[in-house]
Structure 1
């Protein structure tokens, strides 16, 4: 069941912009007829978004997934770099000879029944493998994988969301044909403007190689470029927010010799961080939701600034609890959007507690930072370590204190108390020894060589005629705004015009913030990043490289409503 106020037929960005223009014209007419305006206001007051039904916090456990398993044995197909029978019309895979897959996975995008909370009705969502969030992938550098993504969504779907999909693995270093470009959407009967035909599935080749593969003296690339916490989500043109809101997101974790995923690793180079995905290494995706009076998930298609919910889900459950042992845990925090920012605090008996910050945007920092709070924009990630050993038998809370009342972004006010999102129930004893550690050094940063820079480009994120623009233009899926050369570096200046917050995501490679508003960024932003949060009239200078692959990629605001309303550019890497 769907609330007609928030659901109904799917509307494209162009239709919404046209409606916005109509409303703007109506407002202009009202400006010259105040009496008429007063009469209209009296008859049709501004609608107020209803509150979601009340729910009791901390009645369900946190969903935690074990790693997804590859297909093996006789079920393993004969993969190829060219499209197979029944596959959509994608380009051939780049660098197949370098990265022929060692493992094969199948992922099915399909409707499913889901319970957000036992006091709300079970309802229809969309999920990878029918799960919300989708299954967690665990991969390793040097082991390329092929993921066959089947689209099993109903072609006759009615309501918000699109049954065509394009899956983006944020922010893997891979060929553009596997990046999930927004125009590469497909189903068995339809296909996007940058594809050549429909298909029931699409093969994604995830090379799991370090950036700098071609230029590094190592056969695997530059290990200083390693990623750790990635996530995948739908990126369908005009419908990213709606499809992700329906459930299409999940985690993809990468390990290597340094961050090996084994706290008992005898290799002296291994960090031995808290390990065991689903045991002591826990991914957490935070997403706010709005429900109608009947308790069904609602989405306001007419809100173009950004949508906020009044219920907070962690791994698809409203305010769950998590039972932990009195030992160290690694938590991978992800702001899954669509529009809300968070500032997280850890509390015990009402007092703020310290934790260890080890990675930003999935990239290990050079050394750990002791923190009492952390702010995330949409799609930003933070890996933290919490040592529960001194809280045996106690209860802690992870709470959000950042005030946000609309799609402009956070107000800057810090609320105390905030909203408790996740409760930790600490056992009195451990089930075994804790051999994990927090080393004094994590991952060395690659150097920034400004002599590589061949161009400096400026991108201004703004609003125009009801749409969201970059350099005054709406997104054109068929046209590259810029065409950087493979093997070069550039400086991109990112600027916000106005009192808005834009978490800007650049696909393909991590960058380095050189300056934030003319000064060095804070310590947690001095590592490698792929989401660059811009606030009121802010400016960032970002150093970027373009290596190993060519093809079409994107830069966009990751407030998914802004993205769907055209705040995006295409850039093509060329030889």
Structure 2
């Protein structure tokens, strides 16, 4: 949707304007016991996009950052409502959602002391039937506090600083079985990239992230600095982080997350994990449907899909009325810039680095839209108002800073995991049911079938060797699969047919079609990749640090309900 931004000096906003009120109109939703706020009553495009604060984590020996409770105006629009959330903030300062953007330099270690100051009550309903942090213990949140642990998503990290889901800890000192320390070292032994940090506590990641525990981590290197110096990239002044997340609210402004029990005859009561969850209120950097004011020039936009389950297929009503060029993937730059000729797909956990060119568009505005089905790719069409994300207003005076000219090559050589594979593994994505009859997504191997989190580790690469993982998706949905530790190369995808054991999920009589190369926009370092239904996705990675890590689906409801497995890098 394109709208002219100015008429007679007045801004025309094509949606409802703010009306001062104490509560929002309620509606009934079958996922919630109590009525929730009507998403269509929340004003759109009247709040300016928030800019996260930035902390240079390379400037001193260590930084102390707390995870804790705060309140923020997420809805804005003059409603007068504030929302209790959780966030991150430097010790002695107020926590924020999203957390501050941490900026680091490649090959310069950053040290962060992560303090858990989360309260003794969760903001959201906890499903204790899952395998979660306090399962099979006498610990409770009311006695010991909320478990938390920070994972730097996309980081090349030693295991004791990785934020393993079983390395959780509470403010009272209760610790998970793989806890080692709260003082993390990030060696940053990787190239420039848009990383992010978020909570990863076992069985409640979906809740802790939904409550607000997430933030950007921007890593810079000499190659990027050279391009900035040579005016081949927009300057940091014209660089914007955009974290996309979907939420629901109660009429008084509190966060709402499903709390209805599953429809099972022996359900023990209480909250129930959902197969997926799709909120109808879209937040960008923690604000509902904001607007971004820009100059008529090129901007670098660092996009993060921080949603629990929602995929985004972004465009301006199916097209791009201004040039949008992708320059980077999760873990670094593409070889060459790729101008988008259609919508941009970004799955939970993925990051995309783009340059948007607003030259010649002074006085215009654009609404970035989303038409990704839920679940993706063959679910229900996205419904209003979640089909709109962000308004871009080209209404700022153009500064004197020179315009960049994107180079023909963004990196010296193509990203290539060159070493021959020591092993090719055949792995599995599967959907079954749990003891309560709920959908339970799982990982596994082709020969053993679906496996639980607690079962023996089956992926045990030898340190400093390269492996190819062939992952067969036997489910009806696309899963964003994330590996800790590594940035991998996407080799391609192929359709397959097989005979599947209905009880175990194991495959036999596999027939694989022609391998299709990755999309050019995936031709860079990746740590999260979309694995489409009915296809085998091939990735290649070098496992070069010893220890226990995890691989999992980054649909957070999936990883919390068994779609996560350990892998151990051994000598």
Range into which the TM-score falls when normalised by the shorter chain: 0.7 to 0.9
Deviation at 1:494, TM superposition (A): 1.0
Match of 1:64 among 42, 51, 57: 51
Q: Partners in 2 of 1:158 and 1:291 — Cα distance?
A: 12
Q: Contact 1:170–1:231 at 8 Å: present in 2 too?
A: yes
Q: In the alignment, which residue of structure 1 is the partner of 2:4? A: none
Q: In the alignment, which residue of structure 2 is the partner of 1:468? A: 441
Does 1:298 find its partner at 2:263?
Answer: no
Does 1:546 find its partner at 2:553?
Answer: no
Does 1:194 find its partner at 2:178?
Answer: yes
Q: Partners in 1 of 2:477 and 2:367 — Cα distance?
A: 30
Q: In the alignment, which residue of structure 1 is the partner of 2:409? A: 441
Q: In the alignment, which residue of structure 1 is the partner of 2:564? A: 568
Deviation at 1:291, TM superposition (A): 1.5
Q: In the alignment, which residue of structure 1 is the partner of 2:14? A: none
Deviation at 1:245, TM superposition (A): 0.2
- The verdict on how the C-alpha distance between 1:351 and 1:205 changes in structure 2, with shifts beyond 3 A counting, is closer
Does 1:456 find its partner at 2:445?
Answer: no
Q: Partners in 2 of 1:287 and 1:439 — Cα distance?
A: 32
Q: In the alignment, which residue of structure 1 is the partner of 2:147? A: 164
Deviation at 1:437, TM superposition (A): 2.5
SS in 1 for 2:223: coil
Q: In the alignment, which residue of structure 2 is the partner of 1:424? A: 392
Deviation at 1:383, TM superposition (A): 0.7
Q: In the alignment, which residue of structure 2 is the partner of 1:121? A: 81
- The verdict on how the C-alpha distance between 1:427 and 1:434 changes in structure 2, with shifts beyond 3 A counting, is farther
Q: TM-score, normalised by structure 2?
A: 0.77
Q: Partners in 1 of 2:244 and 2:530 — Cα distance?
A: 17
Q: Which moved more, 1:44-53 or 1:368-377?
A: 44-53
Q: What is the alpha-carbon root mean square deviation over aligned residues?
A: 3.0
Q: Contact 1:341–1:377 at 8 Å: present in 2 too?
A: yes
Does 1:365 find its partner at 2:338?
Answer: no
Q: In the alignment, which residue of structure 1 is the partner of 2:38? A: 52
Q: Contact 1:306–1:408 at 8 Å: present in 2 too?
A: no
- The verdict on how the C-alpha distance between 1:503 and 1:399 changes in structure 2, with shifts beyond 3 A counting, is same
Q: Contact 1:67–1:137 at 8 Å: present in 2 too?
A: yes
1:247-302 CA-partner distances (Å, limit 9, x unpaired) = 00000001111112873x2xxxx5731121xx311110000001134432111142
Counterparts of 1:8-407 in structure 2, within 5 Å, are 52-53=38-39, 54-70=41-57, 103-118=61-76, 119=79, 121-129=81-89, 130-157=95-122, 159-160=124-125, 163-187=146-170, 188-195=172-179, 202-210=182-190, 226-260=191-225, 263=228, 265=229, 272-276=232-236, 279-300=237-258, 301-346=271-316, 352-371=321-340, 372-404=342-374, 407=375
Deviation at 1:458, TM superposition (A): 1.3
Q: Partners in 1 of 2:47 and 2:350 — Cα distance?
A: 26
1:388-421 CA-partner distances (Å, limit 9, x unpaired) = 12111221222212232xx465538689998231
SS in 2 for 1:383: strand
Deviation at 1:360, TM superposition (A): 1.6
Q: In the alignment, which residue of structure 2 is the partner of 1:514? A: 491
Q: Partners in 2 of 1:57 and 1:542 — Cα distance?
A: 40
Q: In the alignment, which residue of structure 2 is the partner of 1:99? A: none
Deviation at 1:51, TM superposition (A): 5.6
The runs of 5 or more residues in structure 1 that have no matched partner are: 6-43, 73-101, 211-225
Q: Partners in 2 of 1:501 and 1:71 — Cα distance?
A: 38
1:183-222 CA-partner distances (Å, limit 9, x unpaired) = 00001331112226xxxx7111000113xxxxxxxxxxxx
Deviation at 1:227, TM superposition (A): 3.9
Q: Contact 2:148–2:199 at 8 Å: present in 1 too?
A: yes
Q: Partners in 2 of 1:273 and 1:252 — Cα distance?
A: 19
1:321-356 CA-partner distances (Å, limit 9, x unpaired) = 1111111110011110100000111469x9743311
The runs of 5 or more residues in structure 2 that have no matched partner are: 1-25, 90-94, 127-140, 259-270, 434-438, 495-514
SS in 1 for 2:559: helix
Q: Contact 2:298–2:403 at 8 Å: present in 1 too?
A: no
